[in-house]
């Protein structure tokens, strides 16, 4: 499988950088910055007391990335408090997803991570009340185009992203983890039932360990947000390593939970690519059991070719002639999985011919 040096080497083994010369540091910092992973790499070096040994020039960039990451963790904690205050009068369970959940539950996946937004999951029946309460507290919708509003509200798994007027932070309000029109239909009720409370926060929950992994896998391998694909793969690696060690019975029941939620395919890809690209220690039995989610051998070969290219930093030193095509094909695949063909055709035609005309004014 393709591997991009030196970033992949350091992600697999942070100690590898102790022998780096300045030219390797230069390239590592550029690749890591483009993959949004500079803070993550800096924090994994700091945890292992390897940061002091880094030459001064590259170290200044690693330390700067740590400063940014620490500040972001604070900002996310504050944002969660503000959201909970806004939703205090809406009698509904709120579940934090992705980055905000890693921060709230103090998982290693939050260390050195950068955040673009906060994601929450609420029951669909409460969506209107939640949206109204958020609007009253300063969040406004970001998509003003009537078609986009309908696209989100009718077909997607979330409201159009909301942005706070003064803090300018972005909030995604989900009612399930995949679009209503997607091929896979995990039942959000099952996720809510298994969700667990978080220390230090009242009325906030996060997904149970296995569900957190499955959601992260689904987001990366079924929802096609490939912009930060290597960062998302590193998240998955961190969650798997942490829960594999700390959550009782994690590896034994992970595949069964994926079956319950109709998410065996994303889990198959997640375990395959984390173990191949990042050396995640997945037990052989779990890898074997996850094969029930595998597509045909030919498809696996094709996906290997596509994902191994897409899961690299968006940096010139990491691509080959096929990288661009691989990313475009995966983008098409994500849309294919997102909607049935007639709807997809209608959507693409609208985006190609009608939306550009509307937005000229």
Partner 1 sequence: MKKASNLKSIEPRLNVSSFTPSEITHALKREGIHLSVGTYTIHLQSAIPSVSESISLLYADYPLNEDTSFADFHVSINHPRNVRRWIHPQAIFRIETYEPFKPLPADQAYPLLEWGLNWCVSTQYHRYLVVHAAVVEKNGRAMILPAPPGSGKSTLCAALVLRGWRLLSDELTLVSLNDMQIVPMCRPISLKNESIPIIQKYDESVTMSRPSFDTNKGTVAHMKAPKESIQRVRETAPPAWIVFPKYQPGTAAKLDKFSKASAFMGVAANAFNYSMLGAQGFQTVSKLIDRCDCYEFSYSNLDEAISMFDRLAQQ
Site of interaction with partner 1 (CB under 8 A): 21-23, 25-26, 30, 34, 57-58, 60-61, 63-64, 67-68, 70-71, 74, 314-316
| Separation of alpha carbons 73 and 111, rounded Å | 8
Nearest CB to partner 1, comparing residues 57 and 351: 57
**Cα angle: 332, vertex 334, 338; to 5 degrees:** 115
Nearest CB to partner 1, comparing residues 91 and 168: 168
Nearest CB to partner 1, comparing residues 70 and 304: 70
Reduce the DSSP state of residue 119 to 3 states and report it: strand
Least Å from the CB of residue 198 to partner 1: 23
Cα dihedral 196, 200, 204, 205, rounded to 10, equals -20
Nearest CB to partner 1, comparing residues 38 and 289: 38
The alpha carbon of 33 is separated from its chain's Cα centroid by a whole number of angstroms, namely: 17
Least Å from the CB of residue 361 to partner 1: 20
Q: Find residue 173's DSSP bridge partners.
A: 120
Nearest CB to partner 1, comparing residues 92 and 317: 317
Least Å from the CB of residue 67 to partner 1: 4
| Half-sphere exposure (Cβ direction) of 39: Cα atoms closer than 13 Å | 21
| Separation of alpha carbons 265 and 217, rounded Å | 9
Nearest CB to partner 1, comparing residues 29 and 212: 29
CB burial readout 329-354, b (16+ within 10 A) else e = bbeebbeebbbeeeebeebeeeeeee
Q: Find residue 162's DSSP bridge partners.
A: 141, 171
Nearest CB to partner 1, comparing residues 54 and 130: 54
Least Å from the CB of residue 31 to partner 1: 10
Least Å from the CB of residue 316 to partner 1: 7
Nearest to 4 by CA among 314, 324, 220: 314
Nearest CB to partner 1, comparing residues 78 and 336: 78
Q: State residue 245 phi and psi, 5-degree precision.
A: -90, -35
Q: Is 303 within 8 Å of 269 (Cβ atoms)?
A: yes
Least Å from the CB of residue 168 to partner 1: 14
Least Å from the CB of residue 59 to partner 1: 9
Q: Is 233 within 8 Å of 311 (Cβ atoms)?
A: yes
The 10 Å Cβ neighbour count of residue 128 is 11
Least Å from the CB of residue 51 to partner 1: 13
């Amino acid at each position: 499988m393709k591997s991009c040096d030196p970033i992949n080497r350091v992600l697999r083994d942070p100690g590898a950088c102790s022998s780096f010369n300045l030219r390797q540091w230069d390239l590592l910092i550029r690749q890591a910055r483009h993959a949004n992973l500079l803070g993550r790499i800096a924090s994994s070096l700091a945890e292992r007391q390897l940061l002091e040994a880094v030459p001064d020039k590259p170290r200044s960039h690693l330390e700067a990335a740590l400063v940014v990451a620490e500040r972001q963790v604070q900002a996310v904690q504050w944002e969660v408090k503000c959201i909970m205050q806004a939703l205090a009068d809406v009698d509904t369970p709120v579940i934090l997803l992705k980055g905000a959940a890693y921060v709230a539950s103090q998982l290693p996946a939050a260390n050195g991570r950068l955040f673009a937004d906060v994601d929450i999951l609420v029951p669909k029946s409460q969506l209107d009340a939640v949206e109204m309460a958020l609007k009253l507290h300063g969040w406004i919708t970001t998509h003003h185009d009537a078609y986009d509003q309908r696209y989100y509200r009718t077909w997607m798994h979330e409201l159009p992203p909301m942005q706070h007027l003064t803090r300018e932070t972005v909030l995604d309000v989900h009612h399930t983890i995949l679009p209503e029109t997607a091929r896979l239909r995990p039942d959000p009720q099952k996720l809510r039932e298994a969700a667990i409370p978080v220390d230090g926060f009242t009325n906030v929950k996060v997904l149970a360990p296995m569900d957190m992994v499955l959601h992260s896998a689904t987001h990366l391998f079924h929802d096609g947000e490939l912009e930060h694909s290597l960062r998302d793969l590193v998240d998955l690696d961190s969650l798997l390593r942490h829960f594999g060690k700390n959550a009782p019975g994690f590896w034994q029941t992970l595949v069964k939970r994926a079956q319950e939620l109709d998410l065996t395919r994303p889990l198959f890809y997640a375990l395959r690519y984390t173990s191949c690209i990042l050396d995640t220690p997945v037990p052989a039995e779990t890898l074997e059991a996850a094969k029930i989610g595998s597509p045909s051998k030919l498809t696996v070969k094709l996906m290997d070719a596509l994902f191994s290219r897409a899961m690299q930093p968006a940096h010139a030193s990491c691509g080959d002639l096929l990288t661009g095509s691989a990313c475009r094909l995966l983008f098409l695949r994500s849309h294919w999985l997102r909607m049935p063909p007639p709807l997809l055709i209608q959507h693409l035609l609208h985006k190609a011919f009608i939306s550009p005309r509307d937005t000229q004014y």
